[in-house]
Amino acid sequence: VNQQQVSAFLTAGHTKFMLLHGGHRHRHNEDTIRGFFQDLYELYVKV
């Protein structure tokens, strides 16, 4: 059974970031993924 999940983040400029990760949905994982996308976006804006 495939336990993978895709999370995505779309910027205002329509840039898409996608993350493939284990499919366990816990509040801790959601917060970690949200933080990852926030950090990624901050780096993206600096470039």
The per-residue pLDDT for range 6-28, each reduced to its tens digit, is 999 999 999 999 999 887 767 77
Q: What is the pLDDT of residue 27?
A: 76
Q: What is the pLDDT of residue 39?
A: 98
- Does the pLDDT of residue 1 top 70, yes or no? no
* Cα distances (Å, whole numbers) of residue 25 to 20, 36, 40, 42, 46: 13, 16, 21, 25, 31
Angstrom distance (rounded) from CA 34 to CA 36: 5
Provide the 8-state DSSP code for 12: T
Q: Region 29-47: what's the mean pLDDT?
A: 95
